[in-house]
């Protein structure tokens, strides 16, 4: 599994209220949520994001509410992977559970700039910055998490476990 | 759990050389921990003492012992959702073809965020929850009239007890640690899986121990304590970890104070916040819970990531300035901040003791000209109690609006949205950009006492200066 795209970079403590403001949580429709992704800190995001792009954040990405609408909005907006220095734990769980790839990599978070083109090899955890011609090593997922991702999400993994 | 990695081995040796008694105590039957194999471990092998959270998780996983970092699957005592997160869970549940819930008495659905419904879309979402609850005969479905703010309602109804393992599709689910439960916020997919299987997976957290001493000063409450702590350790200061509150100071905190403190553990990034169970807890729980429960204590030799000493008597009324809960200052230092709105309520501070202190401060007074104040009792029981005690009259005489229970304004849903550049003092839990309304509005998080005092003066005010 690989990803390659243009980076949209944000800072530390990107909270779920700015990822998807609560005023839009009166729907669970993925494309509706995507229309308002990041709008309270970056009104231009939804216009410039292309399918397959990468989001990069600082420390504690996804802090705040447990709303799964946050990773859903990011994924539905077209983002293939979020890289951050660290993730808030509920966001981390939710992203895995819905099949949004996320990687913890402090070096990549520090060195990647907004607009860089980045490619990611999820099997090795290697992030390659094509613009800067630099390579960063991300934390690979533990096997337990890999099983969930390979099953395409938590509920599928439960079904396959029950099937066995 | 036997330790095998090198760092643990080094730690083990270090521990043995520091305190042989502690080392030997690891084998004590009194600790309730037996070797997995059913035999005493050989010399050179030992158990790590477990934190309170680890003991609850070990029991839930059917293991004698767990250690930090271990991935486990546990049985759940309760699965919770609200009117925003439950629809997403129902969609996943149905999309994946599940056709039954694991236990209809162990699922709680509380319609509190945009309820009474703020618009047609919100009404559709609540209807979806209502239909699901009806279809599966969910015992603990709470709708308008019966519903309260979930984290005030569930403890009040006796649905959470010491030793429970609770997941909730709401980040403030960590509140129930106040009564000695392991409880944590998850997303909707976890909720769906929990409803279907009665299980969830966890990475066993390490813990920070907060050793509480001393006694709170007048007009200082649990809210000031947790804001003070978050100011000290930061919004990711406890990321992925448990916050365990112990020490003689615990008994100086009311159960309401503890609920408030545990509630905001998530604002420090924590997986859960948990209090040692004492007589006050048992009195509270026994008056409400009608089923057996188990009280867990941390092992004396439990290993903590760090220990932080908190002198409750050294804490003054504390306010978190925009736009992070870690931006704390003394309320007294913010008297130049003019405010437009005050909100007293939420899962953090909508309980009877919160309304009582606010009423004491507002009694016979009127809020400042140009300030709006909204008071939201968190549950119908709290509302009625406040009414009987005369607090509702006091609030209305002071010029406050009093609302039926709802999370509304806390998350910028409805019932008190802020306009451009407006400033609010709120007893809620998050002051992120745009959280309560316009992106340029500002939120100062404070206790009910600070909020009430500020409503009277129109600027942020230390309640001791009223």
Residues 6 or more apart whose Cβ sits within 8 Å of residue B43? none
* Model confidence at B8: pLDDT above 50: no
Chain A partners within 8 Å of B96 (Cβ): 155-156, 159
Read off the pLDDT of residues B312-371 as tens digits, 9 standing for 90 and up: 999 999 999 999 999 999 999 999 999 999 999 999 999 999 999 999 999 999 999 999
- Which residue does chain A place closest to B171, by CA atoms? A66
Residue A142 sits at the chain B interface (C-beta within 8 Å)? yes
Three-state SS at B317: coil
Confidence at residue B18, expressed as pLDDT on a 0 to 100 scale: 33
Confidence at residue B47, expressed as pLDDT on a 0 to 100 scale: 66
C-alpha distance from A18 to closest chain B C-alpha (Å): 7
Mutate which of B74, B81, B96, B189 to disrupt the A interface (most A C-beta within 10 Å)? B189
Read off the pLDDT of residues A84-107 as tens digits, 9 standing for 90 and up: 999 999 999 999 999 899 999 999
Chain B partners within 8 Å of A35 (Cβ): none
Asked if B49 and B12 count as a contact pair (C-beta separation under 8 A), the reply is: no
List the B107-110 sheet strands across, edge first. B140-142, B107-110, B78-82, B165-168, B182-185
Question: For residue B162, which of B296, B51, B300 has the smallest C-alpha distance?
Answer: B296
Chain B partners within 8 Å of A40 (Cβ): 433-434, 439
DSSP state of B175: G
What is the C-alpha separation between B403 and B43, in angstroms, rounded?
A: 64
Asked if B377 and B355 count as a contact pair (C-beta separation under 8 A), the reply is: yes
How many Cβ pairs within 8 Å bridge chains A and B? 133
Tell if the CB–CB gap between B185 and A144 is shorter than 8 Å. Answer: no
Tell if the CB–CB gap between B236 and A63 is shorter than 8 Å. Answer: yes
Confidence at residue B46, expressed as pLDDT on a 0 to 100 scale: 56
Confidence at residue B27, expressed as pLDDT on a 0 to 100 scale: 29
Confidence at residue B5, expressed as pLDDT on a 0 to 100 scale: 41
Residue A25 sits at the chain B interface (C-beta within 8 Å)? yes
Q: Which of B85, B201, B236 sits opposite A68 (nearest CB)?
A: B85
Asked if B230 and B430 count as a contact pair (C-beta separation under 8 A), the reply is: no
Tell if the CB–CB gap between A65 and B411 is shorter than 8 Å. Answer: yes
Q: What is the mean pLDDT of residues B135-157?
A: 98
Asked if B353 and B254 count as a contact pair (C-beta separation under 8 A), the reply is: yes
Q: Which two tokens stand for residue B145?
A: 């009239």
Residues 6 or more apart whose Cβ sits within 8 Å of residue B291? B161
Confidence at residue B45, expressed as pLDDT on a 0 to 100 scale: 44
Binned at pLDDT 50, 70 and 90, residue B62 comes out as: very high
Residue A109 sits at the chain B interface (C-beta within 8 Å)? no
- Which residue does chain A place closest to B324, by CA atoms? A13
pTM over 0.90: yes
Contacts with B, A 121-140, CB within 8 Å: none
Q: Which helix (H) or strand (E) holds B328?
A: strand B328-330
Tell if the CB–CB gap between B187 and A65 is shorter than 8 Å. Answer: no
Asked if B411 and B303 count as a contact pair (C-beta separation under 8 A), the reply is: no
Q: Hey, CA dihedral for A38, A44, A45, A47, is it positive or negative? A: positive
Q: What is the mean pLDDT of residues B49-60?
A: 98
What is the C-alpha separation between B436 and B419, in angstroms, rounded?
A: 9
Q: Which two tokens stand for residue B241?
A: 């970890």
Confidence at residue B106, expressed as pLDDT on a 0 to 100 scale: 98
* Model confidence at B29: pLDDT above 70: no
- Check: complex ipTM more than 0.90: yes
Contacts with B, A 39-78, CB within 8 Å: 40-41, 59-60, 63-69, 71-72
DSSP state of A95: H
What is the C-alpha separation between B192 and B188, in angstroms, rounded?
A: 6
Asked if B280 and B255 count as a contact pair (C-beta separation under 8 A), the reply is: yes
Asked if B205 and B240 count as a contact pair (C-beta separation under 8 A), the reply is: yes
DSSP state of B414: S
Pairing of strands B242-246, B272-275: parallel
Residues 6 or more apart whose Cβ sits within 8 Å of residue B169? A66, A68, B80, B81, B82, B85, B86, B88, B89, B185, B186, B187, B188, B190, B191
Three-state SS at A138: coil
C-alpha distance from A76 to closest chain B C-alpha (Å): 15
Read off the pLDDT of residues B64-96 as tens digits, 9 standing for 90 and up: 999 999 999 999 999 999 999 999 999 999 999
What is the C-alpha separation between A80 and A54, in angstroms, rounded?
A: 6
Three-state SS at A82: strand
What is the C-alpha separation between B299 and A11, in angstroms, rounded?
A: 40
Tell if the CB–CB gap between B269 and A13 is shorter than 8 Å. Answer: no
Choice among A61-70, B30-39, B112-121, B235-244 with the minimum mean pLDDT:
B30-39
Tell if the CB–CB gap between B187 and A90 is shorter than 8 Å. Answer: yes
Question: Quick one: how far is CA B125 from the chain centroid?
Answer: 25
Q: What is the mean pLDDT of residues B405-414?
A: 98
What is the C-alpha separation between B293 and B288, in angstroms, rounded?
A: 12
C-alpha distance from A136 to closest chain B C-alpha (Å): 23
Identify the residue with better confidence: B62 or B32: B62
Read off the pLDDT of residues B422-439 as tens digits, 9 standing for 90 and up: 999 999 999 999 999 999
């Amino acid at each position: 599994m690989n990803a390659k795209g243009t980076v949209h970079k944000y800072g530390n403590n990107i909270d779920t209220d700015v990822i998807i403001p609560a005023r839009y949580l009166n729907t669970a429709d993925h494309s509706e949520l995507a229309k308002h992704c990041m709008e309270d800190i970056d009104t231009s995001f939804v216009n410039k994001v292309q399918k397959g792009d990468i989001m990069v954040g600082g420390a504690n990405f996804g802090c705040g509410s447990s709303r799964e609408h946050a990773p859903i909005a990011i994924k539905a907006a077209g983002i293939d992977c979020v890289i951050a220095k660290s993730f808030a734990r509920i966001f981390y769980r939710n992203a895995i559970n819905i099949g949004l790839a996320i990687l913890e990599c402090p070096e990549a978070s520090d060195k990647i700039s907004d607009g860089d083109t980045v490619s990611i090899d999820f099997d090795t955890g290697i992030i390659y910055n094509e613009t800067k011609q630099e390579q960063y090593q991300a934390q690979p997922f533990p096997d337990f998490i890999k099983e969930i991702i390979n099953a395409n999400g938590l509920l599928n993994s439960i079904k396959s476990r029950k099937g066995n | 759990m036997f330790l095998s990695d090198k760092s643990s081995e080094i730690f083990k040796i270090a521990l043995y050389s520091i305190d042989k008694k502690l080392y030997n105590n690891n084998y004590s039957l009194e600790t309730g921990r037996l070797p997995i194999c059913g035999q005493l471990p050989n010399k050179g092998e030992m158990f790590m003492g477990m934190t309170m959270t680890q003991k609850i998780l070990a029991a839930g996983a059917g293991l004698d012992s767990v250690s930090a970092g271990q991935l486990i699957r546990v049985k759940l005592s309760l699965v919770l959702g609200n009117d925003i997160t439950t629809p997403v869970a129902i969609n996943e549940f149905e999309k994946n073809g599940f056709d039954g819930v694991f236990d209809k008495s162990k699922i709680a659905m509380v319609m509190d965020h945009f309820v009474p419904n703020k618009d047609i879309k919100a009404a559709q979402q609540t209807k979806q929850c209502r239909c699901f609850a009806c279809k599966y005969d969910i015992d603990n479905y709470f709708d308008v009239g019966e519903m309260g703010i979930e984290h005030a309602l569930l403890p009040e109804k006796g649905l959470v007890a010491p030793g429970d393992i609770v997941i909730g599709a709401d980040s403030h689910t960590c509140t129930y640690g106040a009564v000695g439960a392991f409880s944590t916020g998850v997303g909707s997919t976890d909720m769906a899986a929990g409803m279907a299987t009665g299980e969830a997976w966890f990475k066993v957290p390490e813990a920070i121990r907060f050793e509480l001493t001393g006694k709170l000063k007048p007009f200082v409450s649990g809210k000031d304590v947790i804001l003070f702590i978050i100011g000290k350790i930061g919004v990711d200061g406890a990321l992925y970890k448990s916050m365990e509150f112990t020490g003689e100071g615990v008994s100086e905190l009311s159960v309401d104070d503890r609920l408030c403190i545990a509630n905001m553990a998530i604002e420090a990034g924590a997986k859960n916040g948990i209090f040692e169970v004492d007589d006050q807890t048992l009195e509270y729980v026994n008056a409400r819970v009608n089923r057996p429960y188990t009280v867990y204590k941390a092992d004396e030799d439990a290993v903590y990531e760090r220990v932080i000493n908190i002198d409750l008597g050294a804490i003054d009324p504390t306010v978190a300035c925009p736009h992070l809960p870690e931006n704390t200052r003394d309320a007294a230092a913010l008297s130049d901040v003019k405010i437009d709105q005050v909100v007293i309520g939420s899962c953090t501070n909508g309980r009877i003791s919160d309304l009582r202190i606010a009423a004491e401060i507002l009694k016979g007074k009127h809020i400042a000209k140009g300030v709006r104040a909204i008071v939201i009792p968190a549950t119908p029981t709290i509302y009625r109690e406040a009414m009987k005690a005369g607090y509702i009259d006091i609030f209305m005489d002071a010029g406050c609006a009093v609302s039926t229970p709802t999370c509304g304004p806390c998350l910028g849903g409805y019932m008190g949205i802020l306009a451009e550049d407006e400033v609010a003092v709120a007893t809620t839990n998050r002051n992120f950009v745009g959280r309560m309304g316009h992106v340029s509005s500002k939120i100062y998080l404070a206790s009910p006492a600070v909020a009430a005092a500020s409503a009277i003066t129109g600027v942020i005010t230390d309640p001791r200066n009223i």
